[in-house]
C-alpha cells in the first residue's frame, strides 16, 4: 500500500482530503489515506470538518448558485462549446461546478501568514469569506451584492461571513469621498471577538443603511486572532494597501448610484 500525501507535519494535506472527498484518489492512495485517518485524531477532525463544510456548501451556496450556473452554461452552449466541438466538455462542467463555485466564494484575501495547507484552494475555500446581501425600500426580499450590481442610497445591507476559525472580526468601508466607516461592530474602535460556538456560516447581526455618497465603495472584513484597531485598518485603506499584519482581509467592491 502506498503512503498517503502528507504535509511537513506528517498529516494529510488539504489537497489529499479534498480529493478523497471527491473520490478522485487512486484506490491505493485512497486506502492509505483512510488508514491514516483511522489512527490520526487531528486528520480525523479535519476530515469531519471538511464533510460538514461540504454539507453546508450544498445547503446554503450550491443550491442557490447552481441554477444560475446551469442557465449560463445553457446560454453559452451553442456558442462557446460549439466552437470547440467537444460535446464531452458539457457533462464535465457539471461535475466541476462544486469546486469552481467553492473557489469563487472567497472574493479576495491578503495578509496573515500562509501555511502549506493555505496554498491549496479547494472545497473549504482556503480562508475566511464575506458575502453581502441587500434590501431595498419596503421590500422584504433580499438580493446578493456581486459584480455588476448597483446599489442605491438608503439600501440596507447585511453581512454573512465564514470566519474560518478567526477569533476577531472587524467590517469597515471607505467610500468614494474617502470617508471611513466601521460597519461591524457599528462605530467601534476595534474588532469584536467572535463566539467560538457559532457556525462557519455566520450572519452578522443588524443591517447598515447606505448614505448618499455615490460612486465606488470598498467594504473590507478583517479577520484575526487578536483585536485589530479600526485606525490601523483606516490607515491601510487610505494608503491603498490590501494587507494588514496579523490579519486576513477580504474585500468586496460596491457601486452606489441614483435610481
The model's pLDDT over 63-80, given as tens digits with 9 standing for 90+, comes to 555 555 555 555 554 444
59: three-class secondary structure by DSSP: helix
**pTM of the entire predicted model:** 0.54
* pLDDT tens string 184-233: 998 999 999 988 776 667 888 888 999 999 999 999 999 999 999 999 99
Instruction: Specify burial of residue 5 (Cβ count, 10 A radius: 0-12, 13-18, 19+).
Output: middle
Phi and psi, residue 176, nearest 5°: -65, -25
Pick from 170, 162, 161: nearest CA to 227: 170
CATH level 2 (architecture), domain 129-256: Sandwich (2.60)
Rounded distance between C-alpha atoms, residue 43 and residue 12, angstroms = 6
SS3 content of the chain, % helix, strand, coil (to 5): 35, 25, 40
Domain boundaries, the chain: 1-105, 129-256
Is 79 within 8 Å of 85 (Cβ atoms)?
no
Find where cell 453581502 sits. Answer: 132
Amino acid at each position: 500500500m502506498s503512503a498517503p500525501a502528507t504535509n511537513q507535519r506528517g498529516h494529510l494535506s488539504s489537497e489529499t482530503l479534498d480529493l478523497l472527498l471527491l473520490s478522485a484518489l487512486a484506490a491505493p492512495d485512497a486506502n492509505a489515506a483512510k488508514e491514516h485517518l483511522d489512527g490520526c485524531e487531528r486528520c480525523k477532525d479535519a476530515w469531519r470538518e471538511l464533510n460538514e463544510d461540504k454539507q453546508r456548501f450544498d445547503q446554503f451556496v450550491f443550491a442557490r448558485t447552481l441554477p444560475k450556473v446551469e442557465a449560463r452554461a445553457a446560454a453559452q452552449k451553442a456558442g462557446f462549446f460549439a466552437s470547440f466541438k467537444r460535446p464531452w466538455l458539457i457533462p464535465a462542467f457539471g461535475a466541476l461546478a462544486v469546486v469552481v463555485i467553492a473557489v469563487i466564494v472567497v472574493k479576495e484575501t491578503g495578509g496573515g501568514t500562509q501555511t502549506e495547507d493555505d496554498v491549496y484552494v479547494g472545497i473549504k475555500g482556503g480562508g475566511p469569506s464575506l458575502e453581502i446581501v441587500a434590501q431595498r425600500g419596503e421590500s422584504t426580499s433580499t438580493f446578493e451584492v456581486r459584480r455588476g450590481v448597483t446599489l442605491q442610497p438608503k439600501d440596507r445591507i447585511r453581512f454573512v461571513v465564514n470566519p474560518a476559525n478567526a477569533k476577531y472580526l472587524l467590517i469597515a468601508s471607505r467610500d468614494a469621498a474617502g470617508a471611513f466607516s466601521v460597519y461591524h461592530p457599528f462605530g467601534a474602535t476595534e474588532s469584536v471577538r467572535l463566539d467560538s460556538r457559532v457556525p462557519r456560516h455566520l450572519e452578522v447581526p443588524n443591517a447598515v443603511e447606505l448614505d448618499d455618497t455615490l460612486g465606488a465603495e470598498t467594504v473590507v472584513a478583517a479577520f484575526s486572532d487578536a483585536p485589530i484597531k479600526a485606525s490601523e485598518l483606516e490607515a491601510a485603506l487610505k494608503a491603498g494597501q490590501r494587507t494588514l499584519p496579523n490579519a486576513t482581509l477580504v474585500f468586496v467592491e460596491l457601486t452606489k448610484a441614483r435610481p
